[in-house]
Amino acid sequence: MKNLWNEFKEFAFTGNVIDMAVGVILGGALKDVVTALVNMFMGVVSAIIKIPASLDKATAQVGPVHIAYGAFVSSFINFILLALCVFAIIKALNTAKDRFKKEEAVEEAAPAKSDEVVLLEEIRDLLKKNA
């Protein structure tokens, strides 16, 4: 039982699991922001094209049938905006990560010695050896 507990602790407290948990929490908060943005946007659009202010309740009548399309359209717009927000965040993170890696590579790369410097070092070493 103790071994199982140790395995669970190792799994639960590694960086990847914690990063994923933070991502899920922030994603939930971002969803609320995007939903509010869509509702605000759809309020303006509904005033312009004369559809119900709450898109979730929008329907169309085709003969005797009422088609409730509003919830689908609202969910689709939420999805597109959420996907765009996540894309922008990931794009910014990848750009920052690439810049950081380039800066590290420049710092790590030691300048190559010229042929003259190599020859002078060999001469110096020979003189020390013979002296």
With H, G, I as helix, E, B as strand and everything else as coil, classify residue 66. strand
**pLDDT by residue, tens only, the chain of 131 residues:** 678 888 877 777 776 777 788 888 888 888 888 778 777 777 777 777 776 666 677 788 888 988 888 888 878 887 888 788 878 888 998 898 888 888 777 666 667 788 888 888 999 999 998 87
What's the CATH class of domain 2-130? mainly alpha
CB 52 within 8 A of CB 70: yes
**H or E, element range at 42:** helix 15-49
| Domain-wise residue ranges, the chain | 2-130
Query: E strands along the chain, which residues?
Result: 60-62, 65-67
**Cα–Cα nearest to 68, from 52, 56, 54:** 56
Q: Phi and psi dihedrals of 62, rounded to 5? A: -120, 100
